[in-house]
Amino acid sequence: MRPHLAACLAAAVAAGLLVLVQAELLAGVLSGRFTTAVLIPLALVVAARGLLGWARGVFAGRTAVAVKSQLRRRLLSRFQEQDAGSARSGELVTLAGRGLDALDAYLTGYLPAVAVAGVIPIAVVVRLFAADLGTAVIVLLTLPLIPIFGALVGWTTRAVTRQQLEALTRLGGHFLDVVRGLPTLRAFGRARHQASVIEQVAAAHRTATMRTLRVAFLSSLVLELVASLSLALVAVPVGLRLLSGSLDLHTALLVLLLAPEAYLPLRAMGTTFHAAMEGVAAADQAFSLITPTPGRDPGRDHAQIRVHAPDQPTPPRDHAQIRIQAADLRISGRDHAPPAIRLEGVTVRYPGRGEDALDDVTLEIAPGEKVAVIGPSGAGKSTLLHVLLGFVTPSRGRVLIDGADLAGLDLEEWRRRLAFVPQRPHLFAATVADNISLGADVSPDEVRTAAAAAQAAEFVEALPYGYETELGERGANLSAGQRQRVALARAFCRPSAEVLLLDEPTARLDGRSEAAVVAATRTLAEGRTAIIVAHRPAMIELADRVIRLGDHAERGAA
Amino acid sequence: MTGTPLRLLTPGMPRRLVLATLAGAAADLAGIALIAAAAWMITRAAEQPPLAALSVAIVAVRAFATTRGLFRYGERLAGHDVALRAQAGTRERLYQALVPAGPLPRRGADLLSRMVDDTDAVQDLLVRCLLPAVAALLAGTAAVVLAAFVLPAAALLLAAGLLVAGVALPAATAVAARRRSARIAPARAELAARVADLVHGAADLAAYGARDRALSAGMEADARLALLERGRSRVDAAALGLGVLVQGLTVVAVVLAASSADLDGVATAVLALTALVSFEPVLPLGAAGERLAGVLAALRRLREIGATPAAVTEPGTPLPLPDEPPALEIEDLVVRHGDRAPALNGVSLSIAPGDRVAIVGPSGAGKSTLLAALMRTVDIESGNIMLNGVDIRRFASDDVRTRMTGLIQDPYVFQATLRDNLRLAGPDASDDDLARAVRQARLDDWTGRTGWDTTLGEDGRTVSGGQLQRLALARALLYDPQVLLLDEPAEAVDEETADALLADLLDATRGRTTLLVTHRLRGLEQVDEIVVLEDGRVVQRGPHHALVSVPGYYRDLWESEALTRR
């Protein structure tokens, strides 16, 4: 993209220089110094300018597209799983989507304008010095007035403008605010009344905007006046000197044609400045998201791990004891047996939070054991699963997998042994089959089998294109229960998984869906270790043991 | 609502628009005249006439140099003034169109902002498309007329060049933009979906080791969009290049015509420079053509919203509301949203004055639809809702809501002070009334801490879930309808707060006719009747002690609630 940017800037500057050549030729023809035969090179220069203008646009477009793509890639690959659902995720989606388009103005408008403004006025002044000293001096003296006045007006009006902009943002948000709150207004019979408020606010908005614009446009008025009065300042003395015979017509016409070209690039730079700054703001935002904040760097937390070995681990107290059939631990395609999982004094505190999300949890889960995790919201149930997944690193304590510290394991490899169904599984804008296989190398038959096991086959087959039906954004065309079962089918599609991590798989389900999901989970859990965050009796009954995560009064596993 | 939804101009605006256009044309003309006068003055001066012969031209050059900027300033101010007025009018009419329309899409926050953004299109249409186009037309015509006085053939050439640059090129870019937006919009949507998947599905992808694949799918979508965007920049670049080419060749042709007509140096110079400068207002129209396609699409979307049918059919001559305490009789109610399965499928319920009825059931069971039917924000397919023996369809929907309303789903906090946020439910309420409602909703701690005149943030960002629900409850209590409807008042609130909120609410509604939709059962032993809805039908009904003693949805929920409690 650097060569593209260079080509774009070079084309812009070359086109600017050709304007000088064009002025030269035109002045020659009009003054009678050149014959009309010169019109042919003139036409060629014009054609070359057109071509360069085209090249500038093409390369500017390529640059912008390439820069946006690269920023987008870096933004998306930096994104961490534990950030999902945070305020940053919404910001990121907007920025990586439309937000980066703000860069267009900067890359395709402002940068070329700056390049042109850096070269052309100097070239014009140099040519004018060679042609006519008096004009060159006038242009040289008035030229700096454009940036000086621009900065001066901008500076004196900045306070007013910022104040006005704040007012504008407030008033501009009002309409959206009212439209969003329309159901509330309707409920209290205020919807119609609000129409007149909208009118009043719009009038106030207009008055405030116009006050801002009167000042804002003043700066462009000053710049335009400087440019056109300078032209008059150049043209009138030139005319008088022609009259006295101390100047020839060719030079006079050349001066007339060239002088405006000295001011134009500076004004073009000014007009693109504002939009360009929005692009710079977008880029700043992107870079701040790409650069990790200190608290989020997972590598940093490893240093803080402190082994916390309780003197006497409290023996687990069973809430519900359910018979399980002897688990067949050897399920096809599996490299390992289910691991023994041990948490030792695991404490998690999210950055910027005052309280621990998970407070000193010590527990042991035997291979093949089915454990229900219950407790009030905020007790750290989901965090427990996230720790096991390696999404979150404990601030204190450690997780042992068959005796080995999880912090030292290859996470990718460890996750291959897991099947996870989150509390709100995300369905992707892809086919149902792709949503179930989720990257796993499985045959369509295996997808079908997984769906059947997850009690999802019936409704999937009823969809317009069955397994090939494209799901809307976030699985919009499925009910909550159906989404949950598709996510469960994902877990079924991992025959090699030895540990099931399910986060409230029946939350937000109606009675019938719940029964289906419970039955599916029961089958899936056979021969595997299952850690299920649950809050409904049916799901809890599935477990060999219930672990209650308490609040701060009730430390550790009970 | 007006007959033609979303007209652009309101009375008084055409005059301002004409003024702005004239100022724009005057600025363009002053620019052309400045160069023409300067060219005349210089070439004439070369013939060394007496100074007096030049004095008019000298004055003209100075005058045009000054007035060009002033006219431009006037045009910009007048143009933006008109545009803001047009936008305000559009917004007001859009709002008027939305008032009787159906419930807004729940997950459609983006849709709403886009709709609001669409009203900006009106501003774009006037300031960036219409105004410069008409001003350029006037200035171009003036330049052609001037040329015609000097040399008719040159005038024809100039007119042809201006038409190509000012009409053909913008039209071509507009067509190209329209055709391309049909392909770019889906590509953008695809990229947005991939990005949303990568971000919102990050945990799922990581757990299944599928992130790299999803990332490359995202980058493929990006590449497809990039290809289309490069195509667009090629069209834009071509328009830019062609504009420059047409301008230059027109000047060359004009000079050629002048020389073959044996015109003198003065006239040739004036013609050539007039031709050169008269393209200045015309060349930016290529970009305006590009913008026009987007502007027209936005206006079309707005027109569609304006044409949305009202959510409920209002009676021709609405009956006045009865005065006696409200007795509600719901008979075999069927309500359907669009062409889906009925949301309510034969629900019957009677509520005597002073009764408190709780409605429980899984999500999607039709609980909120029942409240919407009572508030007359959805139409009934069959069955009746009788208020004191009169079908509520015979009352105006606004009137019905003065009797039956309350805490609706997704209550909204406006960007206004706490006081104003409350007062919308009671514009004439005294400070004592406000204080009482706040006390009953147990919001007084908060008002004591933050004060009544604190501005609450956008989307109530400074308001927690519990405070939001309490604020909504306070509004409902302040409004004090005869039948109080409460839709999941403990939604989006943590357990502890939810328990406290429901307890307060059951306290505050003692003796009021109340319909409470809830997911939480604690405290429901206080209400007169509990109705369990499932799939749009009543599956269980009765008081709490009766429902917990029989197997079913209610007992299951009760037991699981007990299990997850500390």
Residue in A29, A206, A389 nearest the CB of B255? A29
What order do you get walking across the sheet with B356-360 strand by strand?
B404-407, B483-487, B513-517, B356-360, B529-534, B537-542
Alpha helices in A132-190 (DSSP H): 133-142, 145-180, 182-187
Q: With cut-offs at 50, 70 and 90, classify the pLDDT of residue A307.
A: very low
Cα angle A309, A315, A318; round to 5: 140
Which residue has 């709002």 as its token pair? Answer: B95
Q: Do B408 and A184 touch (CB under 8 A)?
A: yes
Cα separation, B214 vs A359, whole angstroms:
34
- How far is the C-alpha of A266 from the C-alpha of A156, rounded, in Å? 20
Q: Say how far apart CA B215 and CA B165 lie, in whole Å.
A: 44
Question: Cβ atoms within 10 A of the Cβ of A134, count?
Answer: 15
Angle in degrees, 0-180, between the axes of helices B169-200 and B285-306, rounded to the nearest 10:
60
Higher-pLDDT residue of B252 and A147 is B252
- Nearest chain A CA: its distance from B191 CA (Å): 7
pLDDT the model gives residue B8: 60
Among the partner-chain residues B46, B229, B233, the one whose CB lies closest to the CB of A252 is B46
Between CA A432 and CA A414 the distance in angstroms is: 26
Whether the pLDDT of residue A422 is over 90: the answer is no
Q: Which of A79, A249, A374 sits opposite B202 (nearest CB)?
A: A79
Q: pLDDT by residue (tens digit) across A80-98?
A: 655 554 556 667 777 777 7
Domains of chain B, start order = 13-104+112-170+224-306 (1.20.1560.10), 328-563 (3.40.50.300)
The answer to whether the Cα torsion of B320, B324, B325, B328 is positive or negative is negative
Put simply, the answer to whether B209 touches A195 (Cβ < 8 Å) is no
Q: Would the CB atoms of A180 and B362 count as touching at under 8 Å?
A: no
Q: Is B333 helix (H, G, I), strand (E, B) or coil?
A: strand
pLDDT band at A179 (very low <50, low <70, confident <90, very high): confident
Asked if B534 lies within 8 A of A511 by C-beta distance, the reply is yes
Separation between Cα atoms, residue A352 and residue A361, nearest integer Å: 21
3-class DSSP state of A154: helix
Give the residue from chain B lying closest to A480, CA to CA: B363
pLDDT given for residue B71 in this prediction:
95
Whether A286 has a pLDDT exceeding 90, the answer reads no
Query: pTM above the 0.90 mark?
Result: no
DSSP 3-state assignment of B386? strand
Q: Do A252 and B96 touch (CB under 8 A)?
A: no
Residue B59 CA to residue B95 CA, distance in Å, equals 53
Answer whether A277 touches B (CB < 8 Å). no
* A104-133 pLDDT per residue, tens: 888 888 999 999 999 999 999 999 999 999
How many other β-carbons are positioned within 10 Å of the β-carbon of residue A211? 14
Sorting pLDDT into bands at 50, 70 and 90, what band is B135?
very high
CA A394, A395, A397, A400: dihedral to nearest 10 degrees? 20
Cβ proximity of B417 and B350 under 8 Å:
no
The percentage of residues in chain A with a pLDDT greater than 90, rounded to a whole number, is 25
Interface contact flag, B412 A184, Cβ < 8 Å: yes
What percentage of chain A carries pLDDT values higher than 70?
82
Those of residues 290-349 in A touching chain B at CB distance below 8 A are: none
- Place A477 in a pLDDT band, splitting at 50, 70 and 90: low
> Does the pLDDT at position A306 exceed 50?
no
Shortest Cα–Cα distance, B65 to chain A (Å)? 5
Gyration radius from chain B CA atoms = 34
Smallest Cβ–Cβ distance between A235 and the set B38, B70, B207 belongs to B38
CA–CA distances in Å: residue B266 to residues A247, B46, B374: 16, 9, 83
* Count of A-B CB contacts under 8 Å: 432
Q: In chain B, whose CA is at the least distance from the CA of A233? A: B62
Search chain A and give the residue with CA nearest B207: A415
Instruction: Tell me whether residues A54 and B70 touch, CB distance under 8 A.
Output: no
Whether B387 has a pLDDT exceeding 70, the answer reads: yes
Q: Is A466 left (phi over 0), alpha (psi -120 to 50) or beta?
A: left
Mean pLDDT of B404-432: 87
In chain A the first and final C-alpha atoms are separated, in Å, by: 60
Query: From CA A328, how far away is CA B393, in angstroms rounded?
Result: 64
Task: Give dist(CA B218, CA B119) in Å, integer.
Answer: 31
Q: Is the pLDDT assigned to residue A313 strictly greater than 80?
A: no
What is the C-alpha to C-alpha distance for residues B491 and B466, in angstroms, rounded to an integer?
Answer: 9
Q: Is A192 within 8 Å of B398 when comparing Cβ atoms? A: yes
Q: Is it the case that residue B6 has pLDDT exceeding 50?
A: no
Contact A232 B415 (CB under 8 A): no
Q: Is the pLDDT of residue A558 over 50?
A: no
First CA to last CA across chain B, in angstroms?
55
- CB contact under 8 Å between B563 and A374, yes or no, is yes
Which range of A39-53, A290-304, B76-90 scores highest in mean pLDDT? It is A39-53
State residue A526's pLDDT score: 86
| pLDDT tens figures, B99-130 | 886 654 444 455 666 777 788 888 888 888 99
Residue B265, min C-alpha distance to chain A (Å): 7
Task: Give contacts of A 155-184 with B, CB under 8 A.
Answer: 170, 173-184
Using alpha carbons only, what angle is made at residue B279 by residues B275 and B280, rounded to the nearest 5 degrees?
A: 125
pLDDT digits (tens, 9 = 90+) for B188-228: 888 888 888 888 788 888 888 888 888 888 899 999 999 98
- C-alpha B480/C-alpha B433 separation (Å) is 11
Residue A7, chain B, CB below 8 Å: the answer is no
Rounded CA gap, B510 and B526, in Å? 9
Which of A42, A78, A188, A555 is most worth mutating to test chain B (most B CB atoms within 10 A of its CB)? A188
> Is 90 exceeded by the pLDDT of residue A360?
no
pLDDT, mean over chain A = 80
Bridge partners (DSSP) listed for residue B407 = B486
Mean pLDDT of B503-515: 88
Local confidence band at B281 (pLDDT 50, 70, 90 cut-offs): very high
**pLDDT of B43-64, one tens digit each?**
999 998 998 889 999 999 999 9
Distance CA B210, CA B191 (A): 18
Q: What are phi and psi of B95, to 5 degrees?
A: -65, -45
Is residue B295 scored above 50 in pLDDT? Answer: yes
Q: Which of B191, B362, B425 sits opposite A510 (nearest CB)?
A: B362
Q: Are strands A418-421 and B344-351 parallel, antiparallel or unpaired?
A: unpaired
Q: What is the ipTM of this complex?
A: 0.81
Note whether B207 contacts A422, CB cutoff 8 Å.
yes
Contact B34 A213 (CB under 8 A): no
pLDDT, position A440 = 78
* pLDDT the model gives residue B410: 77
